């Protein structure tokens, strides 16, 4: 075991744009475009960005649910794309995902007991009785009590918050080292959202030092309350990366400033320093485009931004920014 849980290096995923069902064109969507970062064991990383910025694609790459166009992911110092299917199956229990669509990720024809038992049947050789005991403990630890009532319920008999608790139970069942939660609260109202955030915190504290999260969200307040590091993505590229507090209190990239000015943060200091930004839509990315992907919405854009992609540079305070204002 090393201190470094995850190392992502120059990760890229380009999807070909089809002209028609049969015909591929030479154009690509750069869903993830040159993403690199290191995650320490026990760290909580937030990934933020608007819809289509590549957050889910990045998660799927990290878990090897899809293959990259190029780049590497090391998990526990192992290059996961070099593993055989069998070796990967052995690694799977250590990395879990809570999927974006809470409802679709639970089989409607199975009750909670069967949904959770499936995990143990696939990855352990526990007896039926041991599985039931584990499920009981799991349900208690995610706040679905008394457990015997919830065991026999079907997904449609649960509220949105309860369904998400079942998803969380399934993710923690095998005591993973990494959980990636994709928009874990986007389907929930404010009070339920707070409960789920508290549950994530509680599980994290219980397994302190042994569990890391990647929390994917476009919700800055969620990222603020839950994460230590933040990665801001824009059209597949990392535009800012570093300590969450620094990034949210003092965003450097114009896109991060825009994201933060659009969201209420429960912190009066931030409220006072708010900068107002105009909106606009992300451009349609063409493969041949070489400039900064944010230039058409950026109030500081110059001719250079239109022509050249800014490199990711390290600032004095340790964060990374990809913007010509700082290069």
Ligand X SMILES: Nc1ncnc2c1ncn2[C@@H]1O[C@H](COP(=O)(O)OP(=O)(O)OP(=O)(O)O)[C@@H](O)[C@H]1O
Task: Give the residues lining the site for Mg ion (CB under 5 A).
Answer: 55-56
Minimum distance from residue 59 beta carbon to Mg ion (Å): 8
Identify residues 91-120 at the interface with ligand X (CB under 6 A): 100
Minimum distance from residue 303 beta carbon to ligand X (Å): 27
Phi–psi pair at 241, nearest 5 degrees: -150, 130
Among 6, 28, 43, 49, binds ligand X (CB under 6 A): 49
Query: Can you point out the beta strands (E) in the chain?
Result: 4-18, 24-40, 44-48, 70-75, 78-79, 95-98, 178-182, 212-216, 229-234, 237-243, 313-314, 320-321
Among 44, 45, 48, 57, binds ligand X (CB under 6 A): 57
DSSP 119: H
Instruction: Using only the alpha carbons of the chain, give its radius of gyration.
Output: 21
- When CB distances to Mg ion are compared, the closest residue is 56
Q: Total residues contacting ligand X (rule CB under 6 A)?
A: 13
Q: Do residues 286 and 295 lie in contact, with contact meaning Cβ atoms separated by under 8 Å? A: no
Single out the residue of 223, 178, 241, 215 nearest to residue 40, CA to CA.
178
Interaction of residue 56 with ligand X, rule CB under 6 A: yes
Cα 161 to Cα 149: distance, rounded to the nearest angstrom? 16
β-partners of residue 104 are none
Interaction of residue 53 with ligand X, rule CB under 6 A: yes
Interaction of residue 230 with ligand X, rule CB under 6 A: no
Interaction of residue 54 with ligand X, rule CB under 6 A: yes
Q: State which H helix or E strand residue 221 sits in.
A: helix 220-226
Nearer to ligand X, 28 or 150 (CB): 28
Which one of Mg ion, ligand X, none interacts with residue 49, CB within 5 to 8 A by kind?
A: ligand X
Stretch near ligand X under the rule CB under 6 A, chosen from 53-61, 114-122, 143-151, 170-178 = 53-61
Stretch near ligand X under the rule CB under 6 A, chosen from 48-56, 79-87, 207-215, 220-228 = 48-56
Asked if residue 182 has a cis previous peptide bond (ω within 30° of 0), the answer is no
Which residue ranges make up the site for ligand X (CB under 6 A)? 15, 29, 31, 49, 51-57, 100, 218
């Amino acid at each position: 075991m090393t201190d470094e849980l995850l190392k992502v290096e120059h990760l890229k995923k380009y999807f070909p744009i089809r002209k028609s069902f049969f015909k591929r064109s030479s154009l690509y969507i750069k869903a993830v475009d040159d993403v690199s970062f290191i995650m320490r064991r026990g760290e909580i990383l937030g990934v933020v960005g608007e819809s289509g910025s590549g957050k889910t694609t990045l998660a799927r790459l990290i878990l090897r649910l899809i293959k990259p166009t190029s780049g590497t992911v090391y998990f526990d110092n192992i290059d996961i794309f070099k593993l055989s299917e069998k070796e990967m199956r052995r690694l799977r229990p250590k990395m879990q995902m809570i999927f974006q669509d809470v409802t679709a990720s639970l089989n409607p024809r199975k009750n909670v007991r069967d949904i959770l038992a499936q995990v143990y049947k696939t990855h352990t050789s526990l007896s039926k009785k041991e599985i039931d005991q584990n499920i009981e403990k799991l349900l208690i630890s995610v706040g679905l009590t008394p457990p015997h009532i919830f065991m026999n319920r079907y997904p449609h008999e649960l509220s949105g918050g309860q369904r998400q608790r079942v998803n969380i139970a399934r993710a923690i069942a095998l005591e993973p080292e990494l959980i990636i939660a994709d928009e874990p609260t986007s389907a929930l109202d404010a009070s339920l959202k707070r409960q789920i955030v508290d549950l994530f915190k509680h599980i994290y504290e219980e397994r302190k030092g042994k569990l890391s999260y990647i929390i994917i969200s476009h919700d800055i307040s969620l990222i603020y309350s839950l994460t230590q590091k933040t990665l801001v993505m824009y059209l597949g590229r990392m535009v800012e990366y570093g300590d969450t507090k620094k990034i949210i209190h003092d965003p450097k990239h114009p896109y991060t400033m825009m994201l933060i000015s659009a969201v209420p943060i429960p912190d009066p200091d931030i409220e006072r320093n708010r900068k107002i930004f105009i909106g606009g839509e992300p451009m349609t990315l063409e493969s041949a485009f070489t400039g900064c992907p944010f230039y058409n919405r950026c109030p500081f854009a110059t001719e250079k931004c239109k022509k050249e992609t800014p490199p990711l540079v390290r600032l004095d305070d340790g964060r990374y920014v990809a913007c010509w204002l700082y290069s």
